[in-house]
Amino acid sequence: MAGKNTVKVVWEIVEPYVEKLGLQMWDIQFVKEGTMWYLRIFIDSENGITVEDCENVSRAIDEPLDIADPIDKSYTLEVSSPGIERELTREEHFEQFMGADVMVKMIRPLPEIGKEFKGVLKSATKNTCTVETPQGDVTFNLKESVWVKLDDFYF
C-alpha cells in the first residue's frame, strides 16, 4: 500500500491518539527519499508544538500502527510540527489561513510572475488557488504548484 490510500488509512488510525493528547493533526506524508521510506506525521496546537508533544504522539501511535500494519514496507516514523512556513495541503488549511501572506512555488513559471511569488491568499477551491500579488491576482491549478506555504512573517 502506498500513496494517498496509505495516508488516509494512517490518518484514521493516528488522529484519535493525537486528539486524546489535546493536539490536532495537520498533515501526513508517506514519501520515499533515496532508498528510505518516511512516514511523517505533522501535529499542531494553538499553543505551538514542543519536542515532548512529538515524543508523546510518537509513543502513543507506535503500537497502534504496529498492530494495524497499514504499510507493507520498512519506514522511519517522524512526528513534528508543520513549522512556521507550514505547507498548505488540505482544504481546511486554505480556509483557516484565508487572507494570510503566502509563498508559492510553481512547477513551471507563470507568465508575468515567474516560478516563485508571494502574496495574500485570496481564495481557494479543491483544485485552484488565487493569490493577490503586487502584479495582480494570480489564479493557478494547485496540481501545477510545487507548494503553497505560509510566509514566515505570518507568525
Are 107 and 118 spatial neighbours (Cβ–Cβ below 8 Å)? no
Identify whether residues 75 and 96 lie together within a single domain. Answer: no
Identify whether residues 32 and 64 lie together within a single domain. Answer: yes
pLDDT digits (tens, 9 = 90+) for 92-129: 999 999 999 999 999 999 988 999 999 999 999 999 99
Identify whether residues 51 and 111 lie together within a single domain. Answer: no
Beta bridge partners of 141: 128
Backbone angles phi, psi at 59, to 5 degrees: -65, -40
- Alpha-carbon distance 52 to 56, whole Å? 6
pLDDT digits (tens, 9 = 90+) for 127-147: 999 999 999 999 999 999 999
pLDDT digits (tens, 9 = 90+) for 8-54: 999 999 999 999 999 999 999 999 999 999 999 999 998 899 999 99
Number of Cβ within 10 Å of residue 27's Cβ equals 18
Number of domain units in the chain: 2
pTM for the whole structure: 0.82
Identify whether residues 9 and 52 lie together within a single domain. Answer: yes
